[in-house]
């Protein structure tokens, strides 16, 4: 017994020393010898990496891309897990808990733009992607997509996946019923501005009183806000010194006022985005139009189902350009295989990965080479009457202005969004809505 114990201790010490030496060597030599030694040594043992994402419908649309990677890399298998369709109140808190706990977050995580400010202010939780040579990707991305992935210590911690862009999705069957044109080019000409859009809505409602012209307060608000934010120096709820400007930003007020005018004209279906009723209305034709960033195409096709194929189409958004959403991928510092995870991240955010995600879910690539790929540039979306989704979103993204996200952007967005939904649905009076909107924003920024 005694003998055994002593031998065990010796063995443990020996193993520890070896491991330490190995780690020390690795640490010293890795940067110089990375391409040859690291590349061939890594897959010696089979490892599994977990990729955690969020989103409804097709979400990140990585089924094909991950299958491609797994087929080509038998020793680095990726497990793709879409955790939930809710970002702000489910996915983000879960990820933060994992980061704080030091385990559970997986090897690669997806992150919505709304929380990028929060993540950039927590550099300790993420691997420095520059260390794995991903700095070289800078030329592949629009400046704002790249800049948002650089944290407060100036290190690259995230690379862009899809980009929102903005279009207007509409139901051709309801437009026909209202005597409006159904061809997407003619529909785009109906609403060069948001005021025209309001007028079309009134015409629609006069003919089809049963259906809403637009789903609810959320999507139009986000669409208008994205355009107005671009006009106001790329700021939304916070200025660049993290001061709350919800009451001072004219862009926020303009978007609020526009939603009020739509709602008081009775044009909304008074639905809350992402609710069961919203999903049902999407299937049953409860509303005719919806502000549609590129990723929303996947949400619509996933939610409405095959029965509604060809009933939806995509036109240009009033006011020209815009952006809502878009995501990034990052490697948590807690990952046991950060180097391999960075390789997978590089693949998924690269041309092949983004083109595959576009084909699968219509998620518009933020990578410029991927945008130029014929598969994207000449793409048509069969579900949406063969709409040329590639050119439509490319046009809206071409004039995209960068937007700054404060550390508490997600909380403020959720809090003020509730007020808009409440005012639209009638539980908050429009007279008191703006005061409440600002109050809730101030409370959420805490």
Partner 1 sequence: MSLSVDAGSRTRTVPPGPRRHARPPGGRRFWSWLDLRATPYLFVSPYFILFAIFGIFPLIFTAWVSLHDWQLAGDKTFIGLENYTELLADDKFWNSVLNTVGIFLIATVPQLVLALLLANALNKKLRGRLVLRLSVLAPLITSVVAVAVVFTQLYGRDYGIVNWVLGWFGVDPIHWQNQKWSSWIAIATMVDWRWTGYNAIIYLAAMQTIPKDLYEAAAIDGASPRRQFWGITVPLLKPTIIFTVIVSTIGGFTLFAEPVMFGAGLMTGGTTGQFQTVAMFIVKEGFRDFQYGYAAAAAWILFLLIMITALINFAIVRGIGRSR
Q: Is 442 in the site for partner 1 (CB under 8 A)?
A: no
Binding region for partner 1 (CB under 8 A) out of 6-14, 86-94, 174-182, 325-333: 86-94
Q: How far apart are CA 159 and CA 156, in angstroms?
A: 8
Paired tokens of 183? 């061809």
Q: Is 439 in the site for partner 1 (CB under 8 A)?
A: no
Single residue of 17, 75, 97, 264 touching partner 1 by CB under 8 A: 97
Binding region for partner 1 (CB under 8 A) out of 129-137, 155-163, 218-226, 412-420: 412-420
In terms of C-beta distances under 8 Å and separation of at least 24 residues, what long-range contacts does 142-149 make, across chains too? 142/366, 142/368, 142/397, 142/400, 143/402, 144/234, 144/400, 144/401, 144/402, 144/403, 145/326, 145/366, 147/402, 148/113, 148/116, 148/120, 148/328, 148/402, 148/405, 149/116, 149/328, 149/330
Q: Is 56 in the site for partner 1 (CB under 8 A)?
A: no
Single residue of 183, 195, 280, 399 touching partner 1 by CB under 8 A: 280
Q: Is 425 in the site for partner 1 (CB under 8 A)?
A: yes
For 136-152, give the DSSP string. GGGGGS-HHHHHHTB-T
Q: Work out how close the CB of 418 gets to partner 1 at its nearest, in angstroms, rounded to a whole number.
A: 5
Q: Is 275 in the site for partner 1 (CB under 8 A)?
A: yes
User: Helices 250-264 and 194-207 meet at what angle, rounded to 10?
Assistant: 10
**Interacting residues with partner 1 between 285 and 314 (CB under 8 A):** 286
Give Cβ neighbours of residue 135 (< 8 Å, ≥ 6 apart): 129, 156
Single residue of 418, 437, 438, 441 touching partner 1 by CB under 8 A: 418
Q: Is 264 in the site for partner 1 (CB under 8 A)?
A: no
Q: Work out how close the CB of 395 gets to partner 1 at its nearest, in angstroms, rounded to a whole number.
A: 34
Give Cβ neighbours of residue 323 (< 8 Å, ≥ 6 apart): 163, 164, 165, 166, 226, 293, 396, 397, 400, 403
Q: Is 88 in the site for partner 1 (CB under 8 A)?
A: yes
Q: Which is nearer to partner 1, 366 or 411 (CB)?
A: 411
Single residue of 59, 263, 389, 411 touching partner 1 by CB under 8 A: 411
Single residue of 127, 356, 419, 438 touching partner 1 by CB under 8 A: 419
DSSP annotation of 89 reads: I
Q: Is 281 in the site for partner 1 (CB under 8 A)?
A: yes
> Can you say whether the dihedral through the CA atoms of 110, 113, 114, 115 is positive or negative?
positive
Q: Which is nearer to partner 1, 274 or 360 (CB)?
A: 274
Q: Which is nearer to partner 1, 246 or 269 (CB)?
A: 269
Q: Which is nearer to partner 1, 110 or 417 (CB)?
A: 417
Q: What are phi and psi of 386, to 5 degrees?
A: 60, 35
Contact 251, 267 (CB under 8 A): no
Q: Is 122 in the site for partner 1 (CB under 8 A)?
A: yes
Q: How far apart are CA 67 and CA 60, in angstroms?
A: 14
Q: Work out how close the CB of 333 gets to partner 1 at its nearest, in angstroms, rounded to a whole number.
A: 12
DSSP annotation of 285 reads: T
Q: Is 370 in the site for partner 1 (CB under 8 A)?
A: no
Strands, DSSP E only, in 165-266? 167-171, 212-214
Q: Work out how close the CB of 173 gets to partner 1 at its nearest, in angstroms, rounded to a whole number.
A: 18
Binding region for partner 1 (CB under 8 A) out of 151-159, 171-179, 243-251, 273-281: 273-281
For 105-138, give the DSSP string. S-SEEEEEGGGHHHHHT-GGGB--GGGGTGGGGG
> Can you say whether the dihedral through the CA atoms of 156, 370, 336, 136 is positive or negative?
negative
Q: Work out how close the CB of 123 gets to partner 1 at its nearest, in angstroms, rounded to a whole number.
A: 12
Single residue of 272, 351, 409, 413 touching partner 1 by CB under 8 A: 272
Alpha helix segments (H runs only) across 266-334? 276-284, 294-304
Q: Is 203 in the site for partner 1 (CB under 8 A)?
A: no
Q: Is 277 in the site for partner 1 (CB under 8 A)?
A: yes
Q: Which is nearer to partner 1, 275 or 372 (CB)?
A: 275
Q: Is 426 in the site for partner 1 (CB under 8 A)?
A: yes
Match 């785009």 to its residue by tokens: 188
In order of 376, 434, 444, the CA distances from 428 in angstroms are 43, 10, 18
Which residues contribute to the site for partner 1 (CB under 8 A)? 86, 88-90, 93, 96-97, 99-100, 122, 125, 269-270, 272, 274-277, 280-281, 284, 286, 411, 414, 418-419, 421-422, 425-428, 444, 446
């Amino acid at each position: 017994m005694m003998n055994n114990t002593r031998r065990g201790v010796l063995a443990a010490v020996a193993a520890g020393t070896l491991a330490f030496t190995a780690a020390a060597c690795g640490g010293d030599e890795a940067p110089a010898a990375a391409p040859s030694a690291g590349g061939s040594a890594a897959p010696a043992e089979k490892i599994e990496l977990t990729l955690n994402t969020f989103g409804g419908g097709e979400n990140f649309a990585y089924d094909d891309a991950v299958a491609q990677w797994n087929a080509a890399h038998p020793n680095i298998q990726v497990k793709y897990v879409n955790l939930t369709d809710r970002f702000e109140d489910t996915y983000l808190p879960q990820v933060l808990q994992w980061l704080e706990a030091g385990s559970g977050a997986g090897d690669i995580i997806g992150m919505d733009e709304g929380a990028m400010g929060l993540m950039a202010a927590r550099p300790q939780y993420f691997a420095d992607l520059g260390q794995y040579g991903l700095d070289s990707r800078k030329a592949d991305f629009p400046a704002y997509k790249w800049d948002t992935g650089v944290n407060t210590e100036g290190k690259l911690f995230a690379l862009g996946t899809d980009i929102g862009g903005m279009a207007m999705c509409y139901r051709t069957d309801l437009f026909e019923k209202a005597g409006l044109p159904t061809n997407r080019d003619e529909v785009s000409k109906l609403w060069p501005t948001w005021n025209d859009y309001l007028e079309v809505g009134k015409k629609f409602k006069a003919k089809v009183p049963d259906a809403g012209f637009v789903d609810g307060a959320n999507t139009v608000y986000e669409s208008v806000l994205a355009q107005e934010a671009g006009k106001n120096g790329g700021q939304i709820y916070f200025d660049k010194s993290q001061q709350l400007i919800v009451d001072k930003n004219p862009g926020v007020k303009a978007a609020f006022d526009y939603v009020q005018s739509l709602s008081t004209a009775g044009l909304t279906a008074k639905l809350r985005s992402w609710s069961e009723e919203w999903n049902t209305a999407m299937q049953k034709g409860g509303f005719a139009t919806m502000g549609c960033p590129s990723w929303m195409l996947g949400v619509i096709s996933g939610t409405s189902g095959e029965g509604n194929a060809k009933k939806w189409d995509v036109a240009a958004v009033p006011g020209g350009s815009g952006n809502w959403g878009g995501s990034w991928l990052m490697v948590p510092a807690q990952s046991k295989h950060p180097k391999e995870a960075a390789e997978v991240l590089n693949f998924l955010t690269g041309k092949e990965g983004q083109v595959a995600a576009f084909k699968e879910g219509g998620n518009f690539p933020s990578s410029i080479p991927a945008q130029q790929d014929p598969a994207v540039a000449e793409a048509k979306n069969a579900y949406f009457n063969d709409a040329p989704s590639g050119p439509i979103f490319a046009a809206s993204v071409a004039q995209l202005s960068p937007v700054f996200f404060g550390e508490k952007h997600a909380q403020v967005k959720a809090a003020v969004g509730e007020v808009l939904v409440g005012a639209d649905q009638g539980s908050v009076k429009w007279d008191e809505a703006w005061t409440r909107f600002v109050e809730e924003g101030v409370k959420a920024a805490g």
